[in-house]
Amino acid sequence: MTSHPMVKTARRAETATARTSSAGKARTSNAWSAGFTLIELITVLIILALAGAIVVPRFSDSLDFLFDRKGLRSAAAMMRRARAEAVFRRENMDVTVDIENGKLTLSSAEESENGVAIAPEPPPDGDEAGAGSAVRAFSPIEIQFPKSLKIEEVSVETYGEGKDDEYTFTFYARGTSSGGEIRFEDARRNEHLLRVSPLNGKVWLVDLDEKK
C-alpha cells in the first residue's frame, strides 16, 4: 500500500520538471522576439531619416516655386493696376523697379517728383461722389519679392531709367505707357519675362523656358 504514494510522487516530479522545461523555452522565444523588434525599429528609423533627407528639400523647393509664382502674379497685377489708376485718376502713375532690394513700388508720378503727398481738397457741397470732386492722394504700394525670385534684367523703351539699379515704368492717363520688360529667374532657374506694351499699356507674363 505504501508503494502507490511513491509512484504518484514520482509522476508529480516528472510533471513539474516538464513544466519547468517548457517555461524556459517560452522565455528564450520571447527574448528572441524582443531582439528582432528592436532591430526592426532601428531599421524603420533609419529609413524614415533617409526619406526625410530626400523629401524635405523637395518640399522646400516646392514652397519656393509657389512663392515665386505668387511674386510674378503680384508684379503683373501691380502693372495693370498702375494703368487703371492712371486712366481713372487722369494722371501719370509710376512703377519703380528696385533690382538691388528686389521690390516694386507703385506711386503717383507727380507725388514721386515732388517727394510729398498732395492732400486732396474736400468736394463742394451737393456734388455727387466722383462728379467734379478732387481724387484723393494715392498712397504708394510696395511689393517685396522672395529671395528665391531674382530680377535679372530691366529694360525701358523710353525715358524712365533711374539710378542705383532703379528703373521706372510710367503709365499715362490716356492708357499708354513708357513700355519695357523685366526678366526674372526663379528658384528652379527658370526665366520669366514681364512685358509692358508702350502702345496700350497691356501687361503679360511669358515663361521663357516653356518656349524653348
Q: Full-prediction pTM beyond 0.85? A: no
Separation in Å, CA 80 to CA 11, 14, 139, 169, 185: 101, 97, 17, 12, 21
The residues spanned by each domain of the chain are 59-211
For 59-211, CATH gives 3.55.40.10
Strand bridging mode 191-196 / 203-207:
antiparallel
Cell match 486732396: residue? 120
Helices (H), 90-164: 109-114
CB atoms within 10 A of CB 47: 10
Question: Contact at 8 Å (CB) between 187 and 150?
Answer: no
Phi-psi region of 201 (alpha: psi -120 to 50; beta: other; left: phi over 0): left
pLDDT tens for the 212 residues of the chain, in order: 555 554 444 454 444 444 444 445 555 555 445 555 877 777 777 777 776 666 555 555 667 778 889 999 999 999 999 999 999 999 999 999 999 999 999 999 887 555 544 333 344 444 444 444 456 789 999 999 999 999 999 998 655 445 667 899 999 999 999 999 999 999 889 999 999 999 999 999 999 876 55
